[in-house]
Chains A and B, each alone.
Chain A
Amino acid sequence: MELPKGKVNSNINVTPLVDVMLVLLIIFMVVTPMLQKGAAVQLPVTDEPVKQEESKDQILLAVQYAGDPNAASAIDIAQGSNKEKVTAEALGGRLAEYFQRDPGTSIVIKGDRRLNYGVLKKTMLDVKKAGFQSVGLITQPKAQEQGS
């Protein structure tokens, strides 16, 4: 900084600060919706879940809650960029079709934490009836409770 003759500028230059903050803001605006894969549900929080392998063609079931803890309001099936919404009753039939297409696909379930265990058990049984042999139950590590 060169000081012009006799004049001292005592203002802090906030322009770069504002620049950086705006960039931060934009990045978070873009990234936040992408953090959770599949439809948004409130995941259960547990202490130390194990990292689950993510594969491109995995089927992600999001079991949704809408006021009744004893019934899933809808179940979103997402595989890659394909997404569809089915009722709990129709899930079994749809999964059977997925199984026929590719029996080796892995399945993960994201269940809303306000639901009862019975709803999730029923979903797992539907998965089993379709032919799949194991599922992953997605939870949220405690450290990330505030995020997503």
Chain B
Amino acid sequence: MAMGVGGGGSYNADINVTPLVDVLLVLLIIFMVITPITQSGYDVQIPKESVVSVPTDDKQVILAINAQNCNLTQPLMGQPLPAGCTVLLNNIPMSMTDLPTKVNEIFKNRSGLNKVMFLAAEERLNYEGVMKIVDIAKKGTPDLGIGIVTDEALARGGGPAGAEAAPGI
């Protein structure tokens, strides 16, 4: 790259743009890599009491996560969910592999306010574990809404199967 001047009295008057181009290309690549890192996550609906009491035609679906069926009491720190982890979907035990298909089956013909799955998780469970399960449940149904339930008893499978349990919010 260094131009040897003085080889035989010839001078090169051109500006050497190679390093400039090098640096600019590197800059370009870096911004190409960084731009897609935007915020991503899950929308959670926390409707007011008045909104929930709007009569819905379809049965409410409650996804219950408790420590008895899925031991998430320790921080996961990026590790996968413990093996053999199950959740209760309207009180029916469900493995992680069946969950997305079953959720999709229930919600594929619903829309709007009926297309909301209520999440009842025990408070002592690790947040990351709960979010991983929500992620799995939403896999087949990307536009599924998530609602939260305040009643802890529902997380342990308190209500009867498929009951129209009123979300406590």
A134 x B46 contact (CB < 8 A): yes
Residues of A within 8 A of B6 (CB): 4
Q: Which residues of A contact B4 (CB under 8 A)?
A: 1-4
Chain B residue, CB-CB nearest to A69: B75
Known: A20-B26, A147-B37. A115 touches B127 (CB 8 A): yes
**A35 and B26 alpha carbons, distance in the complex (Å):** 18
Find chain A residues with CB under 8 A from B1 CB: 13, 15-16
Bound-complex Cα distance A81 to B29 (A): 28
The answer, yes or no, to whether B47 is at the interface (CB within 8 Å) is: yes
Interface size class of B (residues with CB under 8 A): 35 or more
Confirm or deny: B7 has a beta carbon within 8 angstroms of a beta carbon on chain A: yes
Q: Assess the A16–B40 pair: CB atoms within 8 A.
A: no
A24 touches B77 (CB 8 A): no
Q: How far is it, in angstroms, between the C-alpha of A111 and the C-alpha of B75 when the chains are bound?
A: 13
Of A121, A128, A139, the contact of B41 (CB 8 Å cutoff): A139
Q: Complex Cα distance A127/B126, Å?
A: 20
B residues in contact with A111, CB < 8 Å: 127
Residue A49 at the chain B interface, CB threshold 8 Å: yes
User: In whole Å, how far is B36's beta carbon from the nearest beta carbon of chain A?
Assistant: 9
Contact with B along A45-64 (1 / 0, CB 8 A): 11111111010000000000
Residue interface mask A108-122, B partner, CB < 8 A = 1: 100111111111110
- A2 to B6 CA separation, bound complex (whole angstroms): 9
Which residues from A are CB-within-8-Å of B136?
Answer: 47
Q: Considering the chains assembled together, what is the distance between the CA atoms of A28 and B27 in angstroms?
A: 10
Q: CA of A31 to CA of B76 in the docked complex: distance in angstroms?
A: 28
> B169 contacts which of A49, A128, A141 (Cβ < 8 Å)?
A128
Knowing that A113-B78, A121-B148 are A-B contacts, what are 20 other residue pairs whose CB atoms are under 8 Å apart, sorted by A's residue number? A2-B4, A16-B18, A31-B34, A44-B128, A45-B132, A46-B134, A51-B38, A51-B39, A52-B39, A114-B128, A115-B126, A120-B127, A124-B44, A127-B46, A128-B46, A132-B46, A133-B51, A136-B41, A137-B42, A140-B40
Give 28 CB contacts A-B under 8 Å. Answer: A1-B2, A4-B6, A20-B23, A20-B26, A24-B26, A35-B37, A45-B78, A46-B131, A46-B132, A47-B132, A47-B136, A48-B139, A52-B41, A52-B43, A108-B39, A108-B41, A115-B126, A117-B122, A117-B126, A117-B127, A119-B127, A121-B123, A125-B46, A128-B46, A134-B46, A137-B41, A140-B40, A144-B37
Interface residues of A (CB under 8 A from B): 1-4, 13, 15-16, 19-20, 23-24, 27-28, 31, 35, 37, 44-52, 54, 69-70, 108, 111-121, 124-125, 127-128, 132-141, 144-145, 147-148
